[in-house]
Structure 1
Amino acid sequence: MAAELTVLALALILQGVQFVLYAVPANRELGPGYTMSARDREPSRSLSDRTSRLGRAMDNHFEGLILFTGAVVLVTVSGQANGFTALCAWIYLIARIAYIPAYALGWRPWRSFIWMAGFAATFAMIVSTLF
């Protein structure tokens, strides 16, 4: 399997891990009465700052996965997977892993720099297919 596809599989697993990292404290903080409901109303309690950040980091990765998945498909289907695109894929994954504690712990401005590294790596994969 191409390195880019391996990284995509790992990124998808990471998304599952992020869900657990968010869901466990969210369920503890909001209680199963709310989290198992239809959520037709706002919760009576607020999430902690850290749990809210974990939720936003998870949502951000869902958004990033869309572009990254497209990049991986483009690179592999076009037969243009190479050392550069593999490196970009690994940079994306490392950045996404680093982004979780960076966001959860409120590391400013480092969180934004980490995000930019993952985005730039993904974008570079896409652009590389045009040359």
Structure 2
Amino acid sequence: MPIALWCVLVAAVLPIVCVGIAKARGPRYDNRNPRAWLAQQTGLASRAGAAQQNHFEAFPFFAVAVLVAILGGGMIDRVNLLAIAFVVARVLYTICYLADWAALRSLMWFTGFGLSVALFVQPAFAH
């Protein structure tokens, strides 16, 4: 199985890690209404919740881009490298979000998006 598909799994887990941080850092977590609880958070817990949301938003395009790259005949070594780079950019994005480094966080977001675009167009440049 290509490494890029394992990267899809890692990207799917990143939002769960972020909400775990929010739950651990915020005041007593209420599982009866988790969205309302998260909306009331501030500071690190709020930023972790926002990072979780953004991971969910970035995931579909990345996952589809990996599939397009693989099924479209993209060079698998390049596809794997781009997928790994995406995961690294998203981990760095999370760190920047948690640390409240807004400008660097935006750079990591653009990097991740650019890597998803690069994955999506891989089949066009594979030959």
What range describes the TM-score normalised by the shorter chain of this pair? 0.7 to 0.9
* Map of 1:5 onto structure 2: 5
- Cα distance change, pair 108–77 in 1 and its aligned pair in 2 (3 A): same
- When normalised by structure 1's length, the TM-score is 0.81
How far does the alpha carbon of each residue in 1:52-77 deviate from its partner, in whole angstroms, 9 at most, with x for none? 11100011001111110111111222
Residue 86 (str. 1) matches residue 66 (str. 2): no
| SS of equivalent to 2:124 | coil
* Residue correspondences, number: 124
The structure having more radius of gyration, on CA atoms, is 1
2:21/2:48 contact within 8 Å kept: yes
- When normalised by structure 2's length, the TM-score is 0.84
The root-mean-square deviation of aligned C-alpha atoms, in Å, is 2.2
- Separation of aligned partners in 2, 1:93 and 1:6: 10
* Map of 1:36 onto structure 2: 31
Instruction: Return the structure number with greater helix share.
Output: 2
* Map of 2:25 onto structure 1: 25
**Paired residue type of 1:116:** F
How far does the alpha carbon of each residue in 1:56-110 deviate from its partner, in whole angstroms, 9 at most, with x for none? 0011001111110111111222332422221111111001111112011111311
* Map of 1:60 onto structure 2: 54
Deviation of 1:9 (Å): 1.7
* Map of 2:65 onto structure 1: 71
Residue 111 (str. 1) matches residue 105 (str. 2): yes
2:89/2:109 contact within 8 Å kept: yes
| Structure 2 alignment gaps of length 5 or more | none
Deviation of 1:113 (Å): 0.6
Deviation of 1:7 (Å): 1.1
- Separation of aligned partners in 1, 2:99 and 2:34: 28
**Paired residue type of 2:14:** L
| SS of equivalent to 1:24 | helix
- Aligned residues with identical type, % of pairs: 26
Structure 1 moving runs of 4+ over 6 Å: none
| SS of equivalent to 1:130 | helix
